[in-house]
Chain A
Amino acid sequence: MKKVIEVKSLTKEYKGLRAVDDLSFDVYSGEILGLLGPNGSGKSTTINCLLSLLKFQTGSIQIFGKSMSPTAYEIKKQIGVVFQEVAVFQELTVRENIEYFCGLYIKNKKMRNEYVEEAIQLVGLEEFKKFYPKQLSGGLLRRLNIACGIAHKPKLIFLDEPTVAVDPQSRNHILDGIKRLRNEGATIIYTTHYMEEVEILCDRVIILDKGKIIASGTPDELKELAKIEEKVSVEIEKISTEKLEEMKRFKNVDDVKYIDGILVVTYQKGKNNLIHLIDYLKKENLQYNKIYSERPTLNDVFLELTGKELRD
């Protein structure tokens, strides 16, 4: 596949803190690359360096095969950015905002109007065209923020946590829109600390912590990195320490925890783990409410690699 972005040994320090530490990665045409990491892991700083907004100490950045710089206008024409913070003019309506930002890229007025209408449709703001930003809910505002960033139909899109503080309905709308953009041929870099979004959207994921890449690959490849293969959770009112210790000695069990009324048993491998656990609970006459089995998540991978949760 064709490389769209090539980052080599990128290092960014600020006030003695190394925010990005020797980062190297590639982004390929047509893929959605997820940059996953907790707050302060260096995701946004990396994006700002890629966009030539921030100075960096070492490293090189090539976009579309050319060196990226603040005056690389030919590259910039093909880039769309949706920042984490909502960046719109409060004095302009929804349509005027999208039209203004689109106009920074598209000179032709007729074409611009078509693009603006398409962007409004993509984010589902048809009924709010004449609304001012202050009249919109948080979710609708986020949608406007996205429309302003992608209305000019860029080939490469940076989405920096676009769903922060968004209601579920708007989140689904945004995620659907992003899929549509990819289907239309855009390459997307998506930063988030919501692992569920990454699992739904991303073809490839880079996990960052303290400015470093700690793992990368497809979501399935990353899950292979986790020692566990299955996680069973049981809602149970009370269980003794002896029983927990006894369960730890079961075949394939990696760990057993009881936190806030939930018994979590993780298995390294094996089949029929759930059935064996239910049999044990019945035999010991332990009353339970819900019981469910899950595959390991990226959060488990992160936990495995760093010893902390993604949302810490």
Chain B
Amino acid sequence: MFGHNFKCALKTLFKNKVLLFWTFAFPIILGTLFHMAFQDIESNETLDVIDIAIVENESWKENKILSHVFDELEGDLFSITYGSEEEAIALLNDHKISGYLILSDTLKVVVKENGIDQTVLKFVVEEITETEEIMKQIAFRNPMKEESFYQNLYSMIGQIQNENKVELVDISNQNLSYTMIEFYTLIAMTCLYGGMLGLYVVNQNLANQSHNGKRIAVSPTPKWKVILSSALAGYVVQLVGIALLFLYTTFVLHVDYGNDILKVIFLTLMGCFAGLSMGIMIATLFKVSENTKTGIIIAFTMLCCFLSGMMGITMKYLIDKNIPILNLINPASMITDGFYALYYYDTFSRYYFDLMSLFLFSLLMILLSIRSLRRQKYDSI
């Protein structure tokens, strides 16, 4: 009976055009649009190395911290020409540099016009000046070894580099683009859209939800067998959908999901399970029409994806910074963050945390559904 029902559920799901659109076609279409949109944005937003000049006066030569910092930033963020103030002014007038630095009592930035390069230069100098001051004070109160001093210095340089997005920390030796977050949310969306499959299979099998459910309920097949086999079929269809999306984004859009494929697959399996169980919960708990339930799933999924950065990466950072609890209960964030953790960190603690959060989310959804799923008789149908 289990196999018979599983086979039939697979057949009905694969022939349901509406479900196929949302779980197969829509993510691929959206992925293509992302690719088209972000390809341009990313190339426009890549920062070039900024040409600057530094007036190499006595003050500069005596300040080891600043000269060390700018030596480190040379090539990554700045292309530096050292010389006299007159030479710097001449270069600035000839538009060969964006600005120059001159150290007297304080470090001054001289620019001639406004622009991104000038803003970055000003921002970096402010950061360096502030950190330099802090380090000087710490060294004064608590003299540290030269080694520790330089460790702190390198840490500061790394921070500056990161904050200016010149070069993202790259553990896997791959080129990670920040638009990857968009593709992570796309995967999360596809996982959660599996909720529609969960909704459909439950609706088709419960006597109080559909006519087919009534007919199945009067048959001698135990309810758990019907629900479980149908849900399994829904899961299989969902996995086929997500596999297609992975293949398409990897081979056609050239999205790189990293090297740890097994962990990527495991995270996706758990994400799909979370989506399916969410659909089952909505199907059993909400006493509204099937269309309304579908609407609830779509709206909830889109909200979760929006909060996890689908419509702008800033949202993810804002939530992380201001309402981190939201990311802990948002299944899309759990999936997105899992991918992010796989890519960004060399330890897997954050990845496993996300995996466990997804499992707990799914468990909660299933537990909420069980009471309704176990019901055998109804007040009205």
Binding site for B on A (CB under 8 A): 14, 48, 51-55, 70-71, 73-74, 76-77, 79, 81, 83, 85-89, 91-92, 96, 100-101, 103-105, 107, 148-149
Q: Is the CB of B1 within 8 A of A70?
A: no
CB-CB under 8 A from B210, the residues of chain A are 87
Residues of chain B lying within 8 A (CB to CB) of residue A70 = 217, 223, 376-377
Q: A54 near B381 (CB under 8 angstroms)?
A: yes
Excluding A52-B377, A73-B220, 5 further A-B contacts by CB distance (< 8 Å) are A53-B218, A71-B222, A103-B8, A104-B5, A149-B215
Chain A residue nearest in CB terms to B221: A104
Cβ of B91 within 8 Å of any chain A Cβ, yes or no, is no
Select which of A14, A88, A89 is within 8 A of B380 by beta carbon. A14
Interface size class of B (residues with CB under 8 A): 20 to 34
Inter-subunit contact B212/A104 (CB<8 Å) = no
Q: Are B219 and A101 in contact (CB under 8 A)?
A: yes
How far, in angstroms, from A279 to B375 measured CA to CA in the complex? 69
- Which B residues between 61 and 76 are near A, CB-CB below 8 angstroms? none
CB distance B379 to A54 under 8 Å?
Answer: yes
15 A-B pairs (CB sep. < 8 Å): A52-B377, A53-B217, A54-B378, A70-B376, A81-B215, A85-B211, A86-B211, A87-B212, A88-B212, A92-B8, A92-B11, A103-B8, A104-B1, A104-B5, A104-B216
* A103 CA to B380 CA, complexed, in Å: 27
Interface of A is mostly: loop
Nearest neighbor of B210 in chain A, beta-carbon distance: A87
Q: A91-B12, A100-B8 are in contact. Are A83 and B214 (CB under 8 A)?
A: yes
Given A87-B215, A104-B4, are A53 and B221 neighbors across the interface (CB < 8 Å)? no
CB-contacts of B180-214 with A (<8 A): 204, 207, 210-212, 214
Nearest-neighbour CB distance to chain A for B196, whole angstroms, equals 15
Residues of B within 8 A of A96 (CB): 8, 11
| Contact A53 B214, CB 8 Å, known A89-B12, A91-B12, A91-B15 | yes
Residues in B neighbouring A77, C-beta threshold 8 A: 220
**Does B151 count as interface, using CB distance less than 8 angstroms?**
no
Contact of A48 among B8, B211, B376, B381 (CB under 8 A): B381
| Chain B residues whose C-beta falls within 8 Å of the C-beta of A14 in the assembled complex | 379-380
B16 at the interface (CB under 8 A from A): yes
Judging by beta carbons under 8 Å apart, are B211 and A101 in contact? no
Q: A100–B5 Cα gap in the complex (Å)?
A: 8
Closest to B377 in A: A55
Give the top 4 A-B pairs by smallest Cβ distance, nearest first. Answer: A70-B376, A87-B211, A91-B15, A104-B219
Residue in contact with B12 in the complex, picked from A73, A92, A105, CB distance below 8 Å: A92
In the assembled complex, the Cα of A54 lies from the Cα of B12 at a distance in Å of: 28
A-contact 0/1 string along B210-242, CB 8 Å cutoff: 111011111111110000000000000000000
Contacts A87-B214, A91-B11, A104-B4 given: A55-B219 contact, CB under 8 Å? no
A178 to chain B, nearest CB (A): 18
Q: A73-B222, A92-B11, A104-B221 are in contact. Are A148 and B215 (CB under 8 A)?
A: yes
Q: Which residues does chain A contribute within 8 Å of B214, judged by CB atoms?
A: 53, 83, 85, 87
Interface pair A55/B379, CB less than 8 Å apart: yes
Complex CA gap A160/B138 in Å reads 88
Tell me the minimal C-beta distance from A88 to chain B in angstroms: 7
Question: In the complex, A51→B4 CA distance in Å?
Answer: 23
Closest Cβ of chain A to B223, distance in Å, is 8
Contact (Cβ within 8 A) B376 A52: yes
From A79, A86, A88, contact of B218 by CB (8 A): A79
A81–B220 touching, CB < 8 Å: no
Residues of B42-63 at the interface with A, using a CB-CB cut-off of 8 Å, are none
Task: Report which residue of B11, B15, B220, B376 has the largest number of chain A beta carbons within 10 angstroms of its beta carbon.
Answer: B220
Interface string of B1-22 (1 = CB under 8 A from A): 1001100100111011000000
A103–B4 touching, CB < 8 Å? yes
Give chain B residues whose Cβ lies under 8 Å from the Cβ of A76.
Answer: 218-220
| Cβ contacts under 8 Å, B222 to chain A | 71, 73
